[in-house]
Structure 1
Amino acid sequence: MEIKNMTRPKELTVQEIILHLTEGITLPENTVDQLITGSPDQFVTGIVVAFMPTQQVIEQAIQGGANLIIAHESPFYNHHSATDWLVNNSVYTDKRTLIDQAGIALFRCHDIIHRFEPDGITDGLIQELGWTTYLSGRTAESDIVTFPEGMTVQEIAQHLKQRLGIDYVRIAGNSEIVCRRAAVLVGFRGNGPVTIPLLQNEQVDLIIAGEGFEWETPEYVRDAVQQGKSKALIMVGHAESEAPGMKLLADRLEESFPETKITFVKEQPVFKVF
């Protein structure tokens, strides 16, 4: 009987995955991207990619045999992952105990993916919406899309809900206008100093953003409509705007590491409307 030479799949370490993610990326000195838990030397048994490393995401990773979670946001309720203010908080300690006992390595991939060319989070949203062919320009914070036939703001809102699998979006301004140019901004980029220049300089009819201060851009849009200008704003939610980018990252990692089980875990929207 012929004995075939079986090659054992290469065991990857957490550090090798991190090096792959950071290849060609220059991070700021105050970057929030770091290995928050676990060891860079541990071998990877599986990877879960998520927007937010929630309790449920961690539980699913454990159930699926994954010991590396790559998440866009912090597990500990603040941007810089500080935990000194949570030391006696039972929600934090229970979550941290679960992570540590399961031997989970949790890597924050926030600044890295925003420095992909193009921005990996925005690119993921544009692809998820099926708007790649509508892309007509980019700014530092946004993608500009042009709809050749035009769409009403209501039609765009319905499209967003359908493609992102969400129950609601929030609209400010004139929802009945026909929109031909829109600026798409992910995450917490919906604030006035970012969006208002786009409405003026890029001549967009519509801002589509994750979230932002409610008394800046929405109030500008309200005044613009009162003055007879055709402007509108759609807020889809922070997670809802950025999760598609992490889904795209999971797909790309799967191509690069086909022998490793890589799963994107999508959480339910954190808010419900009553």
Structure 2
Amino acid sequence: MTTLHDITKFLQSIAPRELSVRDIEARVEIGPQTESEQAKTTVNRILVATYPSARAVTKASQDKANLLITYRPIFPFALDRLYGFDLIRVRLLTKNYISAYTIGSAWASANGGLTDALVETLGLKALKEFRTLGTYSETVPLGRICEPPGVMNHSGFANYVAGKMGLEGVEFGGELDDELGPILVIAGDLTDLLEISEAKKQDIETIVTGELLPETRTIAVEEGINTVELGAFFSEEPGMKRLKYQLSLEFAELKLDFIDSPPLSKTLRPYSQDMA
């Protein structure tokens, strides 16, 4: 019999809280909060996802899962009351006795976690860790500095990244004709001004990440750093698929599934009148 306590302990062992950044920590968001209660909660089926969307919550309910594990939380910030979409998701989870666990930012820094999985998917070779300020540690290895996959400019690299990730395109900021040098890879949406400043100090001129705030992107480009953004969730999916695999090895008796987060929007360009 596998319990919620067994699973949370395993997840904490592969993504220790000491690796957290931005106060984004792992926690049980929905379900038993104490270790004694978690030890009494049996888990037979787990659904892994990047984000606890309505689609993911509905699938967990339909599949009769006992636990939903996500990278992004249901509640990014503390709430004093529930309403709207949050209330609907929470009701569906609690009604079906489904616990929800967010693994937090530590999984991005962890060995074999989000960032390492993204580096592997991109076919890049990591040269060394890129360290930044942690929540509980002076520094944590949030990123990986990688060597270029060949001699190319950033136009060629953007196409390379899109091809490796199976994307129609990527968001690029900077100079397409610049020659490609060392690349900083950080999965998710954790890259902030602190990382831009540190990258500048280390003469890194290319960052691959999930998504940036507009002001972060602007400052990066102004500082001469080219940015390649994959879009929300895409940079996180390789690492969450890897998490599902690790869980299957550790808890062979459990039924595990993964649900992706497909793009729900497209970038449209104006078309000429004769195409209307």
Same fold at TM > 0.5:
yes
CA deviations on 1:54-74 (whole Å, 9 max, x unpaired) are 110111122223221111111
Instruction: Supply the distance in 1 between the matched residues of 2:259 and 2:14 (Cα, whole angstroms).
Output: 27
Deviation, structure 1 residue 13: 1.1
Does 1:84 find its partner at 2:80? Answer: yes
Shift of 1:188: 2.7
Question: What is aligned with 1:218?
Answer: 218
Whether the 8 Å contact between 1:33 and 1:111 is mirrored in structure 2 is: yes
Q: Say if 2:210 and 2:234, in contact at 8 Å, map to a contact too.
A: yes
Instruction: Could you tell me which runs of 5 or more consecutive residues in structure 2 were left unpaired when the two chains were aligned.
Output: 33-37, 132-141, 269-276
Does the 8 Å contact 2:61/2:93 carry over to 1?
no
8 Å contact 1:173–1:221 — kept in the other structure?
Answer: yes
Structure-2 change in CA distance of 1:57 and 1:12 (3 Å): same
User: Would the aligned equivalents of 1:211 and 1:238 in 2 still touch at CA under 8 Å?
Assistant: yes
Q: How does 1:1-274 map to 2 (within 5 A)?
A: 11-23=1-13, 26-27=16-17, 32-39=25-32, 40=38, 41-76=40-75, 79-80=76-77, 82-85=78-81, 87=82, 89-114=83-108, 116=110, 118=111, 120-131=113-124, 134-140=125-131, 141-147=142-148, 149-201=150-202, 203-222=203-222, 224=224, 231-274=225-268
Does structure 2 conserve the Cα–Cα contact (< 8 Å) formed by 1:47 and 1:262?
A: yes
| Alpha carbons of structure 1 residues 197 and 166: separation in structure 2 relative to 1, 3 Å | same
Stretch moving more, 152-161 or 121-130: 152-161
TM-score (norm 2): 0.80
Residues in 2 aligned to 1:189 and 1:72: alpha-carbon distance in whole angstroms: 12
AA aligned opposite 1:96? V
Distance, in Å, in 2 between the alignment partners of 1:148 and 1:188 is 24
State whether residues 148 and 180 of structure 2, in contact with CA within 8 Å, keep that contact through their aligned partners in structure 1: yes
SS at match of 1:218: helix
Letter in 2 for 1:234: V
In structure 2, the CA distance between the partners of 1:223 and 1:34, relative to structure 1 (3 Å rule), is: closer
Q: Distance in 2 between matches of 1:31 and 1:193?
A: 16
Distance of 2:87 and 2:154 partners within structure 1: 44
Unaligned runs of 5+ in 1: 1-10, 225-230
Q: Deviations over 1:7-26 (max 9, x none)?
A: xxxx2111111111113765
The root-mean-square deviation of aligned C-alpha atoms, in Å, is: 2.4
Distance 1:112 1:179, change over 3 A: closer
1:211 and 1:148, CA in 2 relative to 1: closer, same or farther beyond 3 A?
closer
Task: Please tell me whether the aligned partners of residues 218 and 233 of structure 1 are also in contact (alpha carbons under 8 angstroms).
Answer: no
Identity of aligned residues (%): 22
Structure 2 residue aligned with 1:3: none
Pair 1:236–1:150, CA change in 2 (3 A) = same
Matched pairs, number: 249
Could you say what secondary structure the match of 2:152 adopts? strand
Distance in 1 between residues matched to 2:210 and 2:14, nearest whole Å: 28
